[in-house]
């Protein structure tokens, strides 16, 4: 039976920003396979080539689930224009020489470290950046037509540094959108990155900036290895405005919720941001091939609700990683439902019940110890800094 589509109650106006061309980006040869063109048994290349982890299917299936369950009818798909970013916009973060290098690789190439791309991807990456900027413009308009926006874009962006692409990312969509909000609107921006990998590129962009709070919760030393320790706390004016919560592999719903309640939400409230930007990756899910965490789709929805209700400001979520074709659609759906304010979903995730019963899903003592240490080292001085600012 086709479910009735006329019974959803939404309490917030959510833009859904997607473009068929995002799905045409080609991320190059598989990371853990080999390019058949390079097949050389003398070098030990006996491994059957597989599909690249960062392929269009996970995100396309999210878009299709949003459509099939009827939620798309309740989303705003017209207010945010989709367009390519200009060089001026790309260089809000990236160096012009890096932009020119990527532009010059018309047949595709590698933008840096694990950042291969195919023909046409330069323009698709610019489309992702430009559409994110348009979403920020729509959110910060004097008479906004939307309360929040979900940008379902490819390629992802949070690893891309000033002078090089990294980790499947070409241009840093989030960093550029945040800079745009600063420069054109004079806004204070909070960025929360819950992709399972560290948002090294975004951290680099705002490391000495006291107008942008960067909060990243990730698996300890996964990718880039060694990146995102809790001792990275910002510098200069931006001291204490970078907070990293590196969780041990195997962390589940309990560890994530405790981290949000103890560190992320209190720091967000103290910072007093005008705009919330979220690097929304789903590779901390229990079935992700590139992460080792145990989150359920339900938990992603709850995290999104916590964020949206902790500071009631315009919010823009950018899709980052997430490589489970089966689970990413449900995780994304739960987040978008939270953004709309939907309390009861009509869609059941068949994996949630079993994953909720996994061992160590609750907060473990060693995880609590790590989070408490990060609170003392990072969140406490950040909260004190901004509480003092408010009172002076």
Q: Which residues are catalytic?
A: 159
CB closest to Zn ion, residue no = 321
* Min dist. Cβ of residue 318 to Zn ion (A): 12
State phi, psi for 177 to the nearest 5 degrees.
-60, -40
* Contact call for residue 337 and Zn ion (CB under 5 A): no
* Contact call for residue 112 and Zn ion (CB under 5 A): no
* Contact call for residue 351 and Zn ion (CB under 5 A): no
Q: Of residues 321, 329, 332, 351, which one binds Zn ion by CB under 5 A?
A: 321
Count of residues of this chain found to bind Zn ion when the rule CB under 5 A is applied = 5
d(CA 9, CA 6): 9
* Min dist. Cβ of residue 76 to Zn ion (A): 27
Considering only 50-58, 136-144, 319-327, 335-343, which stretch makes contact with Zn ion by CB under 5 A? 319-327
d(CA 153, CA 85): 13
**237 Cβ contact list (under 8 Å, min separation 6):** 208, 209, 210
Q: How many CB atoms lie within 10 A of CB 392?
A: 5
| Beta carbons of 181 and 140 less than 8 angstroms apart | yes
* Min dist. Cβ of residue 294 to Zn ion (A): 16
* Contact call for residue 197 and Zn ion (CB under 5 A): yes
d(CA 177, CA 212): 12
d(CA 91, CA 136): 17
Looking only at residues 215 through 274 of this chain, which bind Zn ion when binding is defined by CB under 5 A?
A: none
Nearer to Zn ion, 117 or 271 (CB): 117
CA–centroid distance for 300 within its chain: 12
Looking only at residues 263 through 302 of this chain, which bind Zn ion when binding is defined by CB under 5 A?
A: 281, 283
* Contact call for residue 195 and Zn ion (CB under 5 A): yes
Nearer to Zn ion, 152 or 181 (CB): 152
How many residues appear in the chain? Answer: 392
* Min dist. Cβ of residue 356 to Zn ion (A): 23
* Contact call for residue 54 and Zn ion (CB under 5 A): no
**144 Cβ contact list (under 8 Å, min separation 6):** 138, 314
| Beta carbons of 100 and 136 less than 8 angstroms apart | no
Nearer to Zn ion, 80 or 328 (CB): 328
Binding site for Zn ion (CB under 5 A): 195, 197, 281, 283, 321
């Amino acid at each position: 039976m086709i479910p009735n589509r006329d019974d959803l109650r939404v309490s917030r106006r959510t833009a859904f920003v997607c473009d068929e061309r995002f799905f045409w980006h080609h991320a190059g040869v598989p990371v853990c396979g080999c390019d058949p063109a390079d097949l050389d048994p003398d070098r030990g290349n006996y491994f059957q080539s597989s599909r690249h982890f960062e392929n269009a299917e996970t995100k396309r299936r999210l878009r299709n689930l949003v459509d099939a369950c009827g939620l798309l009818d309740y989303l705003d798909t017209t207010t945010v224009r989709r367009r390519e970013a200009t060089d001026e916009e790309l260089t809000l973060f990236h160096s012009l020489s890096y932009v020119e290098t990527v532009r010059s690789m018309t047949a595709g190439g590698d933008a840096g470290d694990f950042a291969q791309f195919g023909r046409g991807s330069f323009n698709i990456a610019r489309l992702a950046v430009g559409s994110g900027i348009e979403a920020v413009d729509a959110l910060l308009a004097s008479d906004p037509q939307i309360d929040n926006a979900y940008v379902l874009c490819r390629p992802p962006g949070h690893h891309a540094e000033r002078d090089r692409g990294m980790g499947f990312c070409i241009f840093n969509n989030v960093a550029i959108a945040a800079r745009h909000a600063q420069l054109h609107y004079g806004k204070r921006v909070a960025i929360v990155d819950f992709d399972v990998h560290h948002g090294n590129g975004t951290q680099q962009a705002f490391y000495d900036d006291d107008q942008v709070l960067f909060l990243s919760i990730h698996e300890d030393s996964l990718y880039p290895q060694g990146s995102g320790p809790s001792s990275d706390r910002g510098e200069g004016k931006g001291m204490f405005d970078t907070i990293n919560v590196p969780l041990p592999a195997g962390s589940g719903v309990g560890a994530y919720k405790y981290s949000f309640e103890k560190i992320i939400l209190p720091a967000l409230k103290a910072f007093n941001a005008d705009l919330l930007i979220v690097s929304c990756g789903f590779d901390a899910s229990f079935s992700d091939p590139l992460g080792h965490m145990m989150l359920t789709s339900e938990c992603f929805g709850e995290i999104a609700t916590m964020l949206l209700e902790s500071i009631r400001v315009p919010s823009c979520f950018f899709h980052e990683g997430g490589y489970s074709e089966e689970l990413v659609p449900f995780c994304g759906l739960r987040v978008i439902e939270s953004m709309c304010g939907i309390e009861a979903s009509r869609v059941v995730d068949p994996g949630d019940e079993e994953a909720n019963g996994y061992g160590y899903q609750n907060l473990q003592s060693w995880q609590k110890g790590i989070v408490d240490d990060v609170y003392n080292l990072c969140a406490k001085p950040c909260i004190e800094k901004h509480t003092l600012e408010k009172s002076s």
